[in-house]
């Protein structure tokens, strides 16, 4: 309880006591009892109650979150030009009174939800975009009265500034700004830009009327049922198209993997063929050099070929039978010189008879 309230309470108690003593004095007088002592008490209580009432009417305590506009009957303009700040103040009793205005932040909400806004029911802002689509906007304006502009606000709006100033300004500015954008821009690409433009316009217009805007909040955007259905169909089509692109990309990746695998196999075959060719060339070169060495050896020693032929024969061979009409490729040496009669001359070797199959 502040001092001004305490003084008013004391004045009320003094007036009650004053009336009570008067009643007692009247009762005593009606019974023929002396009332001189009570008369003195009545006078003192009356004067005290009057003084307390005057003091209670003259003392005004302003809370830190408030400012007071003094309405004065003794001022030529009818009010004091300066608002009362926080603390205890003195005004002229019965000729001046104070109207208190809050300077703390206030919230004005306009919402499609019936219980969220200052007005019950659907209080969303209906607006049309530049391409003719109808949308419904939920918004909140957080503002406060400029402490230096309390008196002008009182003169212009009194306590109607929320409903008669903030509300129509917000709804009009939102409609004007939304009409500059297409519906796709309002929803996604330029929503932040649109919100900033609304906030700047609101701040300027409120400041011109003595209010300071703390924040503008674009709470929600709702579409008409027809447009919402078209948006849903569009999103479904986009999702299907995206799925189709994903499948195509997957097929491309699989084809690329197959191509790379085939390329790898082809490269491997080429490398293997090249390796085989190089091996054959190396082998042919080695054989050629070997033949050259053999030819050189045979040129110096012709009997070397006969020796190689003999060494390739099985070690247990004692007799060789060949057709009589087949010439020798190489001159054969005598295998066993000690038994020449067992070796038939080439002409004496009989020709084997052909075998017929029944």
Query: What mean pLDDT do residues 168-173 have?
Result: 94
* pLDDT > 60? residue 345: no
Average pLDDT for the chain:
82
Report the percentage of the chain scoring pLDDT > 70. 81
According to DSSP, residue 2 is labeled -
Report pLDDT for 254. Answer: 85
Q: Which tokens sit at 211?
A: 């209010």
CB of 123 closer than 8 Å to CB of 111: yes
106-223 is a CATH 3.40.50.720 domain: no
Query: What is the spatial distance between Cα 74 and Cα 60, in angstroms, rounded to a whole number?
Result: 18
Q: List, for residues 116-146, the tens digit of each pLDDT value.
A: 888 888 889 999 999 888 889 999 999 999 9
User: Which pLDDT belongs to residue 341?
Assistant: 43
Residue pLDDT, tens place only, 75-101: 888 999 999 999 999 999 889 999 999
Cβ count near 240 (within 10 Å)? 10
Please, where are the H alpha helices in 31-105? 36-58
Task: Give burial (CB, 10 Å; 0-12/13-18/19+) of 232.
Answer: exposed
Mean per-residue pLDDT, 179-184:
90
Instruction: Kindly indicate the confidence band of residue 357, based on its pLDDT and cuts at 50, 70 and 90.
Output: very low
- Bigger pLDDT: 304 vs 42: 42
Q: Say which residues have a Cβ less than 8 Å from residue 9's Cβ, sequence separation at least 6.
A: 1
pLDDT attached to residue 211: 95
CA proximity to 132, closest of 87, 95, 191, 184: 184
Would you kindly state where each structural domain of the chain is located, as residue ranges?
A: 3-102, 106-223
Are 164 and 157 in contact by the 8 Å Cβ rule? The answer is yes
* 70 CB burial (10 A radius; 0-12, 13-18, 19+): buried
* Burial (0-12, 13-18, 19+ Cβ within 10 Å), 17: middle
Here the tokens at position 352 are 């084997």
CA end-to-end distance (rounded Å), the chain: 146
For tokens 């084809």, the residue is 255
- Among the residue ranges 25-34, 190-199, 282-291, 328-337, the one predicted with the least confidence is 328-337
pLDDT band at residue 161 using 50, 70 and 90 as cut-offs = very high
Reported as a single tens digit per residue, the pLDDT across 248-265 is 888 888 888 888 888 888
């Amino acid at each position: 309880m502040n001092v001004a309230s305490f003084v008013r309470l004391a004045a009320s108690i003094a007036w009650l006591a004053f009336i009570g003593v008067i009643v007692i004095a009247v009762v005593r007088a009606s019974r023929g009892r002396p009332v001189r002592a009570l008369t003195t008490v009545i006078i003192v209580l009356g004067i005290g109650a009057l003084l307390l009432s005057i003091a209670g009417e003259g003392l005004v305590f302003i809370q830190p979150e408030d400012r007071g506009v003094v309405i004065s009957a003794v001022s030529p303009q009818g009010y004091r030009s300066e608002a009362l700040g926080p603390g205890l103040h003195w005004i002229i009793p019965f000729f001046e009174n104070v109207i208190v205005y809050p300077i703390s932040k206030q919230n004005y909400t306009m919402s499609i939800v019936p219980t969220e806004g200052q007005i019950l029911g659907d209080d969303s802002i209906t607006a049309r975009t530049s391409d003719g689509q109808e949308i419904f906007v939920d918004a909140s304006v957080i503002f406060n009265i400029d402490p230096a502009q309390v008196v002008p606000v009182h003169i212009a709006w009194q306590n109607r500034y929320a409903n008669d100033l903030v509300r129509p300004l917000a709804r009009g500015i939102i409609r004007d700004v939304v009409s500059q954008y297409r519906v796709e821009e309002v929803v996604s690409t330029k929503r932040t830009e649109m919100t900033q433009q609304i906030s700047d316009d609101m701040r300027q217009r409120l400041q011109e009327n003595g209010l300071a805007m703390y924040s503008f909040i674009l709470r929600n955007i709702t579409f008409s049922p027809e447009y919402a259905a078209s948006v849903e169909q569009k999103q479904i089509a986009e999702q299907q198209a995206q799925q189709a692109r994903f499948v195509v990309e997957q097929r491309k990746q699989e084809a690329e993997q197959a191509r790379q695998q085939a390329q790898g196999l082809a490269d491997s075959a080429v490398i293997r063929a090249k390796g085989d060719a190089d091996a054959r060339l190396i082998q042919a070169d080695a054989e050629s050099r070997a033949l050259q060495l053999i030819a050189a050896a045979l040129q110096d020693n012709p009997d070397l070929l006969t020796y190689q032929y003999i060494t390739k024969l099985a070690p247990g061979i004692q007799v060789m039978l060949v057709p009589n009409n087949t010439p020798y490729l190489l001159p054969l040496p005598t295998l066993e010189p000690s038994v020449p009669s067992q070796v038939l001359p080439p002409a004496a070797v009989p020709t084997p008879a052909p075998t017929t199959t029944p």
